[in-house]
Amino acid sequence: MNTASATALTPAPPAAQYRLAGDLAIWIFILAELLAFGVFFSAYAFTRAHHVELFDAEQRALHRDVGALNTALLLTASYFVVRAVQAAERFAARASSHWLLGAMVCGAGFIVLKLFEYGAAFDQGVSLSSSPFHMFYLSLTFFHFMHVILGMVILAALWFGARAGRYQPGDMNGMETGAAYWHMVDLVWLILFPLVYVIH
């Protein structure tokens, strides 16, 4: 028997083995969000191609330390959310709520650092109209910032739900839906940070 026929005879895994974690609606929403961010990132990159020296000079003035720390905070929040889901899956509602609280603390840390960063930028005269780079820097990061705010509201809702013991094996849809949204907020930042703060 040759390899091709062996492959053809191997049964495909049954479709029932596949499962999307969370509500289908949130995944369609996530795809729309990813597309919007993708268009923004591409617009930034193609605009930079026409103003390379300006973009590179103004990028150097950004607070890369704060950007990196914020990346670590979002990743840590995502990790805590994963642990919260895992805890709920083993009936550990209390532990799950503690992990979610940890994720919210990280999210709050991100917000505080971002506000500090915006404050410092505004003090230096950065505005939407001060340069093409500043326009993209402010609009891209603020668009993402709004998603972090919504993510925090969702994490708070999950936290209340976890404390009430609402999530357990067989009834995880709500928590998985909220978790998927938070991970999306993390995912787009993983492109935004190197693109806007580092690559030149």
Site for other proteins in 61-80 (CB under 8 A): 64-65, 67-68, 71-72, 75-76, 78-79
Asked if 82 interacts with other proteins (CB under 8 A), we say: yes
Asked if 83 interacts with other proteins (CB under 8 A), we say: yes
Which of the ranges 42-50, 127-135, 143-151, 159-167 carries the binding residues for other proteins, by CB under 8 A? Answer: 42-50
Confirm if 54 and 133 have CB atoms less than 8 A apart.
yes
Gyration radius of the chain's alpha carbons: 21
x/- mask, other proteins, residues 127-166, rule CB under 8 A, reads ----------------------------------------
Least distance between other proteins and beta carbon 136 (Å): 12
Interface residues with other proteins (CB under 8 A) are 15, 17-21, 27, 31, 34-35, 37-38, 41-42, 45-46, 48-50, 52, 56, 60, 64-65, 67-68, 71-72, 75-76, 78-79, 81-83, 85-86, 89, 176, 180, 183-184, 186-187, 190-191, 193-195, 197-200
